[in-house]
Amino acid sequence: MAPAHKDGRSAALYPPLRRRMIENGDWDRICARLARELNESGWIDRFKDRSKEMARAAEGNGGLSVEALLAELMPQAEADIPMGVRQEIVGVIRKLLERQIDFT
């Protein structure tokens, strides 16, 4: 999923930062922490349950493709991320970026 960028500078910085995070393992650590936090908060189970319900409901109408199911689920799933989890992960990313970029 492409990130939302506020300006051209952010858009230009994202690819090299992401590549560096992948290369040094930060990306995997952040993803693992996010998955752990979402699981502990119950978000993963709620998302799975909602996905199953939608897939079952769609079966009677000819079914939905995975892409269509995800397109319908993702906005609500993103909105349902607990604020504490969101703030914690954003804080981790912010600290990482502060070590790598001069924001002045």
Residue 9: the pLDDT is 74
Helix axes 26-41, 43-59, angle to 10 degrees: 80
Q: What is the pTM of this model?
A: 0.76
pLDDT tens column, 36-83: 999 999 999 999 999 999 988 888 778 788 899 899 999 999 999 999
pLDDT tens column, 89-104: 999 999 988 887 766 5
Q: Residue 99 corresponds to which tokens in the numbers above?
A: 């070590």
Residue 5 has pLDDT above 60, yes or no: no
Residue 12: the pLDDT is 83
17: closest CA among 79, 83, 104, 99?
A: 99
Q: Helix H segments across 1-104?
A: 8-24, 26-41, 43-59, 66-79, 83-100
Residue 1: the pLDDT is 45
pLDDT tens column, 8-20: 777 887 898 889 9
